[in-house]
């Protein structure tokens, strides 16, 4: 509950902050982007403000694509993305710094008897080649495909790893990690994907090729459905003193325990 209240406080503070522009708030650090990074950025933001009581930290959960755009347009200090920058974005003057690595959990309803799928089966399901759960050891029921909206870092990561770009036959394309969790939790025939750090007991994360998604299997690379969490900054721009202080903290050894406590693996 405390973390949720903190996130809402971040969003409220950001809305007020945006009215005057981030460049005019020297003691404010504004971040914008990936909803999958809510947990880790909330933990880091709280720790940072506790150690720096004169600085306000804000987080606007808009999605990876929007966060990247916000940095390009100068509407925030640091963008948050759950996918790597593409060549065009790098050429436009943006730099990425890997903060952590996160598993993308393949989730189903808790009552679904399926507990493991191969990466090939997952790809076939999302491409519409496997359409009934009984084809993969489940109930005789049509598979309902849930995914994220275009521009989502989670979707980009999932489709890149499963080699299903532009081929997924989604029933619903949702705009946040929370929406995916809620939708899968309410439909016994649904399958979706979400940040491992965000998964709750309302859904079941299945193993992929026999590997259970957890911190250890993400860290050693045996769980293959994973992606980076990155901080996005302008290559030719200088961060404000407050933003630079947060950036240095987030990428330091001091932050590793906070990052790992959010269910992801620190890159440091």
**113-132 confidence digits (pLDDT tens):** 999 999 999 999 999 999 99
- pLDDT for the residue 258: 97
pTM: 0.74
| Chain mean pLDDT for the chain | 91
Has residue 14 got a pLDDT over 80? no
Percent of the chain with pLDDT over 70: 91
Name the pLDDT band for 25 (thresholds 50, 70, 90): low
Has residue 68 got a pLDDT over 70? yes
Name the pLDDT band for 151 (thresholds 50, 70, 90): confident
Q: Domains, the chain, ranges and CATH?
A: 2-100+228-266 (3.40.190.10), 102-226 (3.40.190.10)
- Sequence-distant (≥ 6) Cβ neighbours of residue 128 within 8 angstroms: 145, 169
DSSP label of 255: G
Tell me the HSE value of 248 on the side-chain side, using a 13 A CA sphere.
7
End-to-end CA distance of the chain: 28
Please work out, in degrees rounded to the nearest 5, the angle formed at the alpha carbon of residue 2 by the alpha carbons of 24 and 212: 105
> Among 24, 80, 33, 98, which Cα is nearest to 56's?
24
Pairing of strands 78-81, 226-234: antiparallel
């Amino acid at each position: 509950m405390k973390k949720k209240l903190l996130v809402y406080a971040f969003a409220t503070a950001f809305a007020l902050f945006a009215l005057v522009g981030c460049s005019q708030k020297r003691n404010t650090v504004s971040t914008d982007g990936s909803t999958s990074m809510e947990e880790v950025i909330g933990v880091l933001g709280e720790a940072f403000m506790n150690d720096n009581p004169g600085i306000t930290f804000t987080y606007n959960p808009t999605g990876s694509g929007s966060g990247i755009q916000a940095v390009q347009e100068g509407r925030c200090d640091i963008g948050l993305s759950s996918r790597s920058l593409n060549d065009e974005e790098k050429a436009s003057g943006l730099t990425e710094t890997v903060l952590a690595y996160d598993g993308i959990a393949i989730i189903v309803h808790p009552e679904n008897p399926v507990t493991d799928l191969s990466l090939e089966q997952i790809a076939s399901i999302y491409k519409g080649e496997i359409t009934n759960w009984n084809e993969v050891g489940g109930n005789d029921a049509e598979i309902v495909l849930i995914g994220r909206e275009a521009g989502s870092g989670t979707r980009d990561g999932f489709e890149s790893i499963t080699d299903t770009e532009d081929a997924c036959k989604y029933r619903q394309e949702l705009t946040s990690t929370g929406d995916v969790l809620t939708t899968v939790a309410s439909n016994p025939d649904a399958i979706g994907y979400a940040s491992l750090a965000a998964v709750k007991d309302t859904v079941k994360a299945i193993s992929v090729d026999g590997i259970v998604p957890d911190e250890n299997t993400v860290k050693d690379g045996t769980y293959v459905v994973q992606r980076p969490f990155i901080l996005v900054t302008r290559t030719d721009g200088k961060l404000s003193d407050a933003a630079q202080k947060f950036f240095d903290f987030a990428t330091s050894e001091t932050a590793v325990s906070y990052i790992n406590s959010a269910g992801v693996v620190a890159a440091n």
